[in-house]
Amino acid sequence: MTPGLLFALTGIALFSSGVAGLILQTHLLRKIIAFNVMGSGAFLVLVGLAQRSGEPDPVSQAMVLTGIVVSIAATALALALARRLLNLTGEMRFPAEGQDD
Amino acid sequence: MIEIELIPLIILVPLLWASLAFIAGPAHGWKLALGGSTLQLVLAWRLAAEVGGGADRVHVPGGWEAPLGIALSADGLAAVMLLLAQGVALPLAFYARAYFARHPEGAHTFWPLTGFLLAAMNALFLSADIFNLYVTLELVGLAAVGLVASGGAGSVAAALRYLLATLLGSGSYLLGVALLYGAYGTVTLPELASQVTEASPPVAMLAAGLMLAGMAVKTALFPFHFWLPPAHGGAPSPVSALLSALVIKASFYLAARLWLALFLPLATPSWGQVIGVLGAAAIFWGSFMALRQARLKMLIAYSTVAQVGYLFLFFPLATHTEPAAAQSALQGVTLQALAHGLAKAAMFAAAGAVILSTGHDRIMQLGGITAHMPVTVFTLAIAGVSLMGLPPSAGFLAKWLLIDSAIVSGQWWWIVVMIAGGLLTAAYVFKVLRHAFLRAEQSEVYKPLPRLVEWPGFLLAVASLALGLRAAELLNVLGTP
Amino acid sequence: MTRGTGRFRKMLVSVGCASLAGAAVFAVMALPEPAVRLAGPVEANMDRSGVTHPVTAVLLNFRGYDTLLEIAVLLLALLGVAAAGGSEKIGLRRLPSAPHAFLQSLTRLMAPLMVLAAGYLLWAGSHRPGGAFQAAAVLAAGIVLLFLAGLLPERLQSDRLLRVGMVAGFLVFLAVAAFPLAGGALLQYPVPLAGALILLIESGLTISLALILSGLFLRLPDEFEEEEE
């Protein structure tokens, strides 16, 4: 069990919990945090699995750097939308399903 | 004669005008958009001409050959999708200019967002590197969400739902990329393709499942379709048109591309059938819900849910079937993507025209629009013809090819599904037209519409009809898979 | 995602995610050694890349096209945040309350240090971990701090200037990327110029990304305002 493999397995656990949280949580901030957990899990798998034999791999590290930036962008957008929704409805939750407006 | 590198240009041009539009603001953004989109259409046309008939084009950024660098390649399928994107975007740019002149909400971010959206889609169609595809997927997704969010206070919840759904999809895709890179040490599609065989370790199947599931969520395949109707139905009409016509096709294209280029050795016919069943469910559920809608834009949005189902019939029809069946399936689905793109853009443009004129889009009160905006009603009717799959529209030809594929591969049950789908589509199209032909109510006020609000939609609808007549050339470009 | 929080749904999702995790663990443990090792080709081409750190070489040269698109993603996020906020301005908004004097003194001390740190990180990126993103992050934090302390110069708050600043880095990157198209491929830096071009791109990006990142933070819709401008 190399460190790389351990990172990858942790990443898998994080990814799965992140997905569950994203779907099941109702509070918007928790959904966004769950998305970040999910993303971090995927990054850990990417780096850990590529380096499971012990040698450092610059390509996977560069890919994760790119992924982190993309994550920031997505999180910022999600937070902005959630804040606006809070301003409009007073709650950090999706409004109940009402079809007509 | 200067050798123009078409592949990078068709990505760089929209990036450039989108950035300039960001600085310039909406007053000048539309000029950049119109100029840029025209140039892009010319480039896409040139590329299709060069690629047609099997001569794939490749571009290597940085001169670094894969697997060290990123591979960009254009084959027939990519060229056709590029044509769809630029071909729909240009009329919609004219339409959006006129629409926002009347209804400025959302105009100040529309042009740069649309430019980035087009750049992202072009980059997606041309990429042959699965990590680069992740970046382009996110680019498309964020641009689309931004466009939905620009619709004002009413679209914020829909935009956020869309964002979280699309992030779930791309996150799943990314894990697939991570697994494949860890297993095979490369992210270049052709290299991966040579390594993935029937005897691949279980990691490959897991990655396939994750990536395809991610694309299913992003394409709103049943049962992941919950985010689409509020997002497409609630956004400003030019945005709805872009989303339903183009954005939805990008993730489907990726699913089909991965299936064909990478995962076919792993696929079993039963998985194909499962996906087909979800497609059929989408067709029925989407059409059923469309019939129940009170608002025109929501009806059209649910229609998108239904039409996406036809696209996913590709999987059962092309998985380990006879080559003739697989070929027909690919051709049919590509034509369906194009026909639907044109027709749906036309319908949303028409719905926007109705809203501009009457101030609402309630179907029950559509009466009288035939007298006041006949071009718009024609647009709805012609687009409806393509959606229903009546000859000689491209929609008809697409379904014909799919039915042909079903016959050759012996999967006659999909024929039943498609015919039933066509009938249901006719039901909701006629519902709209029936109300449109009624007499106007006394209290309705109809503001006159500038020509640019009605004619781009009409042009798009006619294109979806005319495409059926000229499909042979298009299928030539597509080539054989 | 709010279709009823029934227990069945919770169980279904939890079981689904747990089995996904289990399948992934099983698949990962069963992996043989990978077929292609990219560290080798990276190492072999380092002397033609213009920098001495392999990750920077991958990010800005071998896979520079990814980085180009990634900057576009950040710009897009800013556009989206602006669209979500509902107002037309990209620029900063008013402070909700008067800043504390201690914060102001501390900021006056920290801000020059942060600029210095950002400059170092930018330069260091060519031969150790560092580069445009890291420098931009520090600079962005500095901008946010200056704003919260009420010390941000008025000149920086012009809408048009901010827009140009945010896009300029990306435009520089586009120009450097497109320039080689005349004789070769996208982003194909001439080998003797590679190092200088990468530094040029990174400098432009540092400023633009700092503005974008701080803009993302400072443009988040505020709790008490609605359509204030």
Predicted confidence at residue B53, as pLDDT, reads 63
| C chain contacts of residue A19, beta-carbon cutoff 8 Å | 17, 20
Query: Which residues are CB-neighbours of B284 under 8 A, at least 6 positions away?
Result: B306, B309, B420, B421, B424
- The mean per-residue pLDDT over the stretch C160-174 comes to 90
Q: Tell which B residues from 174 to 233 touch C, by Cβ distance under 8 Å.
A: 175, 179, 182-186, 191, 195, 201-203, 205-206, 226
Strand partners, B59: B72
- The mean per-residue pLDDT over the stretch B37-64 comes to 83
Does residue B313 carry a pLDDT above 80?
Answer: yes
Does residue B280 carry a pLDDT above 90?
Answer: yes
How do the domains of chain B map onto residue ranges? 274-481
Buried b / exposed e across B366-390, counting CB within 10 Å, b at 16+?
bbbbbebbebbbbbbbbbbbbbbbb
Predicted confidence at residue B374, as pLDDT, reads 86
CA distance A6 to chain C (A): 10
Three-class SS state of B105: coil
Which residue of chain C is at minimal alpha-carbon distance from B133?
A: C66
Predicted confidence at residue B93, as pLDDT, reads 93
Q: pLDDT band at residue B265, thresholds of 50, 70 and 90?
A: confident
What's the token pair of residue B56? 């794939």
Of chain B, the percentage scoring pLDDT greater than 70 comes to 98
**Residue C48, Cβ neighbours under 10 Å: how many?**
14
| A chain contacts of residue B172, beta-carbon cutoff 8 Å | 19
A92 Cβ under 8 Å from any chain C Cβ: no
What's the token pair of residue C32? 């043989």
List, for residues C48-68, the tens digit of each pLDDT value.
888 888 888 888 888 999 999
User: What single-letter amino acid sits at C185?
Assistant: A
Q: Is B153 in contact with B52 (CB distance < 8 Å)?
A: no
Predicted confidence at residue B42, as pLDDT, reads 92
CB pairs A-C closer than 8 Å:
131
CA distance A60 to chain C (A): 9
- Determine the residue among A30, A45, A57, A71 to mutate to test chain C binding: the one whose Cβ has the most chain C Cβ atoms within 10 Å: A57
* Inter-chain CB proximity C77 and A76 less than 8 Å: yes
CA distance B465 to chain C (A): 35
Does residue B252 carry a pLDDT above 90?
Answer: yes
* Inter-chain CB proximity C20 and A65 less than 8 Å: no
Q: Rounded to an integer, what distance in angstroms lies between the CA atom of residue B397 and that of residue C159?
A: 51
**Residue C124, Cβ neighbours under 10 Å: how many?**
16
**Residue B220, Cβ neighbours under 10 Å: how many?**
30
Q: Is B368 in contact with B445 (CB distance < 8 Å)?
A: no
Strand partners, B72: B59, B127
Kindly tell me the number of DSSP H helices and DSSP E strands found in chain A.
3, 0
Q: pLDDT band at residue C92, thresholds of 50, 70 and 90?
A: low
Does residue A99 carry a pLDDT above 60?
Answer: no
Of chain C, the percentage scoring pLDDT greater than 90 comes to 32
Nearest CA-CA partner of A76 in C168, B240, C79: C79
| A chain contacts of residue C13, beta-carbon cutoff 8 Å | 20, 23-24
Which residue of chain B is at minimal alpha-carbon distance from C59?
A: B69
Q: Is B214 in contact with B176 (CB distance < 8 Å)?
A: yes
Q: Rounded to an integer, what distance in angstroms lies between the CA atom of residue B64 and that of residue B60?
A: 6
* Inter-chain CB proximity A60 and B181 less than 8 Å: yes
- Determine the residue among B109, B156, B180 to mutate to test chain C binding: the one whose Cβ has the most chain C Cβ atoms within 10 Å: B109
Nearest CA-CA partner of B135 in B146, B149, B145, B121: B121
- Which helix (H) or strand (E) is B117 found in, with range? helix B107-126
Query: Which residues are CB-neighbours of A26 under 8 A, at least 6 positions away?
Result: A93, A94, C2, C5
Which residue of chain C is at minimal alpha-carbon distance from B179?
A: C28
List, for residues B333-381, the tens digit of each pLDDT value.
999 999 999 999 999 999 999 988 888 888 888 877 888 888 889 999 9
Does residue C167 carry a pLDDT above 80?
Answer: yes
Predicted confidence at residue C210, as pLDDT, reads 93
- The mean per-residue pLDDT over the stretch C107-126 comes to 91
- The mean per-residue pLDDT over the stretch C91-97 comes to 66
* Inter-chain CB proximity A35 and B171 less than 8 Å: yes
Residue C177 CA, distance from chain mean position: 18
Strand partners, B74: B57
Q: pLDDT band at residue B165, thresholds of 50, 70 and 90?
A: very high
Predicted confidence at residue A101, as pLDDT, reads 35
Which residue of chain B is at minimal alpha-carbon distance from A79?
A: B160
Tracing tokens 């110069």 back to the chain, one arrives at C153
Q: Tell which A residues from 26 to 85 touch C, by Cβ distance under 8 Å.
A: 26, 31, 45, 49-50, 52-53, 55-59, 61-63, 65-66, 69-70, 72-74, 76-77, 79-81, 83-84
B45 Cβ under 8 Å from any chain C Cβ: no
What are the structural domains, with CATH classification, of chain A? 3-89 (1.10.287.3510)
Q: pLDDT band at residue C229, thresholds of 50, 70 and 90?
A: very low
Predicted confidence at residue C88, as pLDDT, reads 63
Query: Which residues are CB-neighbours of B60 under 8 A, at least 6 positions away?
Result: B66, B69, B71, B72, C185
* Inter-chain CB proximity C38 and B226 less than 8 Å: no
Mean pLDDT over each residue of chain B, to the nearest integer: 89
Mean pLDDT over each residue of chain C, to the nearest integer: 84
Does residue C2 carry a pLDDT above 70?
Answer: no
List, for residues B380-403, the tens digit of each pLDDT value.
999 999 999 888 888 899 999 999
Three-class SS state of C11: helix
CA distance C39 to chain B (A): 9
- Strand locations in B347-448, DSSP E? none
Q: Give the number of residues written for chain C.
A: 229
Q: Rounded to an integer, what distance in angstroms lies between the CA atom of residue B146 and that of residue C40?
A: 41
User: What single-letter amino acid sits at A93?
Assistant: R
Which residue of chain C is at minimal alpha-carbon distance from A48?
A: C28
* Inter-chain CB proximity C70 and A70 less than 8 Å: yes
Q: Rounded to an integer, what distance in angstroms lies between the CA atom of residue C91 and that of residue C204?
A: 20
C48 Cβ under 8 Å from any chain A Cβ: no
Residues of B with CB under 8 A from a CB of A: 131, 134-135, 138, 141-142, 145-146, 149, 153-154, 156-157, 159-161, 163-164, 167-168, 171-172, 174-175, 177-179, 181-183, 185, 187, 234, 294-295, 298
What HEC string does A30-45 produce? HHHHHHHHHHHHHHHH
* Inter-chain CB proximity C63 and A12 less than 8 Å: no
> Judging by beta carbons within 10 Å of its beta carbon (0-12, 13-18, 19+), is residue C54 exposed, middle or buried?
buried
Q: Rounded to an integer, what distance in angstroms lies between the CA atom of residue C21 and that of residue B160?
A: 27
CA distance C106 to chain B (A): 35
* Inter-chain CB proximity B168 and A22 less than 8 Å: yes
Predicted confidence at residue B468, as pLDDT, reads 87
| C chain contacts of residue A69, beta-carbon cutoff 8 Å | 70, 73-74, 133
Does residue C4 carry a pLDDT above 70?
Answer: no
Mean pLDDT over each residue of chain A, to the nearest integer: 89
For the ranges B203-207, B278-282, B301-305, B322-326, the lowest mean pLDDT is seen at: B322-326
Which of A38, A78, A100 is nearest residue B163 as measured by Cβ atoms? Answer: A78
> Judging by beta carbons within 10 Å of its beta carbon (0-12, 13-18, 19+), is residue B153 exposed, middle or buried?
middle
Task: Supply the angle between the helices B323-358 and B471-478 in degrees, to the nearest 10.
Answer: 120
Query: Which residues are CB-neighbours of B108 under 8 A, at least 6 positions away?
Result: B25, B26, B150, C82, C88
Query: Which residues are CB-neighbours of C153 under 8 A, at least 6 positions away?
Result: none
Predicted confidence at residue C227, as pLDDT, reads 46
Q: Rounded to an integer, what distance in angstroms lies between the CA atom of residue C135 and that of residue C70?
A: 16
Buried b / exposed e across B73-94, counting CB within 10 Å, b at 16+?
bbbbbbbbbbbbbbbbbbbbbb
Pairwise pLDDT comparison (B266 vs C2), residue with the higher score: B266
Three-class SS state of B73: strand
Which residue of chain C is at minimal alpha-carbon distance from A31?
A: C1
CA distances from B275 to B247, B279, B281, B412 (A): 20, 6, 10, 16
Does residue C3 carry a pLDDT above 90?
Answer: no
C116 Cβ under 8 Å from any chain B Cβ: no
| B chain contacts of residue C57, beta-carbon cutoff 8 Å | none
C113 Cβ under 8 Å from any chain A Cβ: no
List, for residues A34-62, the tens digit of each pLDDT value.
999 999 999 999 999 888 887 888 999 99
Q: Rounded to an integer, what distance in angstroms lies between the CA atom of residue B267 and that of residue B110?
A: 41
Q: Rounded to an integer, what distance in angstroms lies between the CA atom of residue B481 and that of residue B56?
A: 12
* Inter-chain CB proximity C65 and B132 less than 8 Å: yes
CA distance C223 to chain A (A): 6
Which of A53, A58, A77 is nearest residue C77 as measured by Cβ atoms? Answer: A77
Q: Is B342 in contact with B85 (CB distance < 8 Å)?
A: no
C229 Cβ under 8 Å from any chain B Cβ: no
Q: Tell which C residues from 175 to 194 touch B, by Cβ distance under 8 Å.
A: 177-178, 181, 184-189
Predicted confidence at residue B200, as pLDDT, reads 79
Tracing tokens 């079981």 back to the chain, one arrives at C15
C221 Cβ under 8 Å from any chain A Cβ: yes
Does residue C166 carry a pLDDT above 80?
Answer: yes
Nearest CA-CA partner of C56 in C139, C115, C123: C123
Q: Rounded to an integer, what distance in angstroms lies between the CA atom of residue C135 and that of residue C37?
A: 30
**Residue C41, Cβ neighbours under 10 Å: how many?**
17
ipTM reported for the complex, 2 dp: 0.95
Predicted confidence at residue B140, as pLDDT, reads 96
